[in-house]
A and B are shown apart, each in its own frame.
Chain A
Amino acid sequence: MAKKVAFMQGNEAAAHGALYAGCKFFAGYPITPSTEVAEVMSAELPKVGGKFIQMEDEIGAMSAVIGAALTGAKALTSTSGPGLSLKQEIIGYGCITEVPCVIVNVMRGGPSTGMPTGPSQSDVMCAKWGTHGDHPAICLVPASVQELFEETIRAFNLAEKYRTPVMIMPDEIVGHMRERIVFPEPGEIEVINRTTPSVSPEQYKPYDTKFGDVPPLAAFGSDYRFHVTGLNKMEDGFPTTKASIVQAEEERQVRKVEANADDIIKYEEYMLDDAEVVVVAFGSTSRSARFAVNEARKQGIKAGLFRLITFWPFPEKQILALSKKVKAFITPEMNLGMCTEVVKGCVAGNAPVHGIFRVDGEPINPDQIVDKMKEVK
């Protein structure tokens, strides 16, 4: 049977990816350029018996998402810059309480109201450092409509597998572009569900490390009842200030993601075998970068592309390895150097890192990148 093919917008594809992953709850608050995710969910969720609610603000939306996720539902919210800032306290709550959920953040210019309809890539630091305190961070940065669909499924899988909020951050261009998309059949892409307890309700502890760094999570309204708090907690979910427990729990929460970085990190290598100048890029910028690499090759420059698909955890190992064999890195991005700083940290001085930054609401075009290649090669 021929597969279902459509011409679809990125944001719509994110919503359909969530539905494919089994999402049954959405809470959000309208904001450009992410609103289409909410609109599709409002139409599609009730058809499958799911629930959609438009909340009074983004804090409420994030809160409702975590409440719903605790009943066992796969839950989603979508937003953009200002809304992401508002959600941050509750994202931290999701991290410390270890509740799986997914946040689609379509990046627009900032800070503050910034440029609501202009593309940007300036929220990637907010994905890791936006909420206070040490916490795990997973952030995916797709570059096409097809990839936004598939990475949204992966975002749910990672959230469920590692019991933590996961962010997926298309830039406005990826969120709003329309492309051909081929839908996988049900079952074709793996869908992961959280591990539920195997012990009896009497023995159940929501943070029981006997089961490893990602303890099973029961659902409210099942045979299990338990306590959830944003205070530092013990295995049984109750607050504690005992130094050794707080230290161990904080470390475990971060470790469960960091130690599994290889499972979470996804990237694409393009023409890297003999590359001397390597572009590290993500989202729509990586499309310009691929074009630039092709152009440069025609002009005799040995260029290549390292395309980030996972932004956090960052592929530190891979960039470090590359830095030992290339002459220079170029990091084009629609912000004032966020990814560039991270890459500089990874290369440990082995190679220079040249940023190309744009925050004027215009995409970075291939010529800019080719010019930079000529300059640094």
Chain B
Amino acid sequence: MAFDYDKYIRPGKLPHIWCPGCGHGIVMKGLIRAIDALGFEKNNTAIVSGIGCASRLPGYMDCCTLHTAHGRAAAFATGVKMAKPEMNVICVGGDGDGTAIGGNHFIHACRRNINITYIIMNNKIYGMTGGQFSPATPTGAKASTTPYGNPDPPFDIAKLAIGAGATFVARGTAYHATQIDKLIVEAIQHKGFSVVEILDDCPTTYGRRNKYKSVIEMMNELKDIAVPVKAAEKMTPEQLKGKVLTGVLYKEEKPEYTAEYAKVIERAKGAAK
């Protein structure tokens, strides 16, 4: 039997705003399958986003949903999780939202290792505002604000997350759709701050400007550049040039923030006696 996505879609809130060929919808379906696989109760699940095309995702989901301000998802989510640690808290958003304006909140959520899963839909561009370059736009690429090619070097978002202290970091692509839910499930099951970067596409503002002939070409590129971490172990640096690693890139057990704060409460109550 086909998977019933409607179970988690808010009645009456479709159609979505995404363009034909946009990768964000593929990620949402992956997230829905993951939530279903985990058996999460909708009332106990908060989905928090910032602003952008990717950040419109929560509105379609039949959970506790919080569409915040540009870049602030991790900070709002931190408030939700601290106040109600028993809730499942998931952040979603774009590369610009999460790593430009929201970069500070993102790295500090990584550092605290608070039990939140952050899904970044990386289409390498500011889609919603018409295609300005983001911190994930490759050097040389065309954006509406880089008419002569992008002079900025991009972030490697997964490495940024690892460097900042996230204890679970995975990467997938919108082409490898059936892997997305598995990565999200593993990320959510991990106790601590987990980051899942999904490389996807924005045909409307990135594809057109950068001479992609079709969405299919953009999807094929995602297929071609992705190398699973296991396979990469057997490849030479030469062979890995221009490729990106996919799968679980990093995993480490470390004290989780809300659990540590529970100990603070114990100590404070002990001291008060």
Contact = CB atoms under 8 A, between A and B. Distances in A.
B78 A53 contact: yes
Interface string B76-88: 1111111110110
Contacts of A49: 265, 269
Interface in B38-83: 42-44, 46, 48, 51, 58-59, 62-69, 72, 74-83
Contact of B264 (A46, A63, A73, A90): A46
Interface residues of A, number: 44
B75 A59 contact: yes
Interface string A212-247: 000000001111111111110000001100000000
Nearest to A43: B268
A238 B66 CA distance: 11
Interface string B90-132: 0000000000000011011000000000000000000000000
A227 B68 contact: no
A67 B75 contact: yes
Contacts of B79: 25, 27, 53, 63-71, 75
B241 interface: no
Contacts of B87: 71, 220-221
A18 to B, nearest CB: 15
B105 A56 contact: yes
Most buried by B among A60, A75, A239: A60
A262 interface: no
A65 B82 CA distance: 10
B69 A227 contact: no
Contacts of A3: none
> Does more than half of chain B's interface fall in helix, strand or loop, or is it mixed?
helix
A89 interface: yes
B59 A64 contact: no
Contacts of A46: 261, 264-265, 267-269
Given A47-B272, A60-B72, A238-B13, A68 B65 contact: no
A318 to B, nearest CB: 37
B262 to A, nearest CB: 9
B43 A222 contact: yes
Nearest to A101: B79
Contact of A73 (B62, B83, B107, B268): B83
A238 B59 contact: yes
Contacts of B83: 24-25, 51, 67-68, 71-73, 75
- Chain B interface size, as a band, is 35 or more
A103 to B, nearest CB: 14
A57 interface: yes
A55 interface: yes
A60 B104 contact: yes
Interface string A68-91: 111111010000000000000110
B75 A60 contact: yes
Contacts of B46: 220-221
A224 B261 CA distance: 27
A93 interface: yes
Contact of B268 (A47, A65, A67): A47
B228 to A, nearest CB: 34
Given A47-B268, A56-B105, A63 B68 contact: yes
A225 B40 CA distance: 14
B76 A51 contact: no
Contacts of B58: 227
B43 A228 contact: no
Most buried by B among A57, A63, A69: A63
Interface string A36-54: 0000000100110101010
Given A226-B64, A230-B67, A231-B67, A68 B265 contact: no
A56 B108 contact: yes
B43 A64 contact: no
Contacts of B107: 56
Most buried by B among A25, A27, A227, A239: A227
A230 B43 contact: no
A69 to B, nearest CB: 8
A223 B43 contact: yes
B66 A70 contact: yes
Nearest to A89: B69
A56 B104 contact: yes
A66 B264 contact: no
Contacts of A71: 79-80, 83-84, 87
Given A60-B75, A60-B104, A220 B80 contact: yes
Q: Which 10 A-B pairs have the closest CB atoms?
A: A67-B79, A64-B79, A46-B268, A63-B75, A68-B83, A60-B75, A67-B76, A68-B79, A229-B67, A56-B108
Interface of B: 10, 13, 42-44, 46, 48, 51, 58-59, 62-69, 72, 74-84, 86-87, 104-105, 107-108, 261, 264-265, 267-269, 271-272
Given A63-B75, A67-B78, A220-B66, 15 more contacts: A24-B83, A49-B269, A51-B83, A51-B261, A59-B72, A63-B76, A64-B78, A64-B82, A65-B79, A67-B48, A68-B80, A70-B80, A90-B72, A221-B87, A238-B13
11 contacts: A46-B267, A55-B78, A67-B78, A67-B83, A75-B83, A224-B43, A225-B62, A226-B65, A227-B66, A230-B68, A238-B59
Interface of A: 24-25, 27, 43, 46-47, 49, 51, 53, 55-57, 59-61, 63-73, 75, 89-90, 93, 220-231, 238-239
